[in-house]
Amino acid sequence: MAEKTYSLAEIAKHNTNKSVWFAIHNNVYDVTEFLNEHPGGEEVLIEQAGKDATEAFEDVGHSSDARERMKKYKIGEIVESERRVVPEKAEPDWKTDTKQEDTSIKSWILPLLLGLLATLLYKYFFSK
């Protein structure tokens, strides 16, 4: 069975808290029932209602769990002539955060050691 298709004009009609539809990666979602469950709050979803929300969705960096969960709200696809391509972003790589944390630790160790050395030299040369 072929997917139901919707135009962007049809999606645009569903832009109130009573009916929230949007498109993400050319798929159309009716998230009206998900408003109260959305971890980021319903306002975020309502703000994207009636639009192509692909870039906003990708900018947030949703997890693979979130991507899997949204499948149940899919109601169709955008008509072929109105589709566009926006690449999916990978899940956040927490290893880069660890690397940044290591760098910040190293950035204060050297000044701390220099301060300690200066204090010891001061006491050695200027103590009575």
pLDDT tens digit at each of 128 positions of the chain:
678 999 999 999 999 989 999 999 999 999 999 999 998 889 999 999 999 999 999 888 888 898 999 999 999 999 999 998 877 776 655 565 555 555 676 777 888 888 999 999 888 888 76
**Residue 95, domain member (yes or no):** no
Which residue has tokens 């709050």?
A: 41
**Residue 71, domain member (yes or no):** yes
**Residue 24, domain member (yes or no):** yes
Asked whether 58 and 88 are in contact (CB, 8 A), the reply is yes
We report the CATH number of the domain holding residue 51 as 3.10.120.10
Q: Is residue 19 classed as helix, strand or coil in its secondary structure? A: strand
- Select from 44, 3, 35, 24 the least CA-distant residue to 87: 24
pLDDT of residue 102: 59
Please return the burial class of 5, using the count of CB atoms within 10 Å of its CB with bins 0-12, 13-18 and 19+.
middle
pLDDT of residue 35: 93
**Residue 100, domain member (yes or no):** no
**Residue 92, domain member (yes or no):** no
**Residue 98, domain member (yes or no):** no
**Residue 13, domain member (yes or no):** yes
Rounded to the nearest angstrom, the gap between the alpha carbon of residue 73 and the centroid of all alpha carbons in its chain is 19
Q: Is the pTM of this model over 0.75?
A: no
pLDDT of residue 63: 87
Count up the domains in the chain and report the number: 1
Cβ count near 24 (within 10 Å): 24
Where in the sequence is the domain holding 61, given as residue range(s)? 5-82
pLDDT of residue 123: 86
**Residue 105, domain member (yes or no):** no
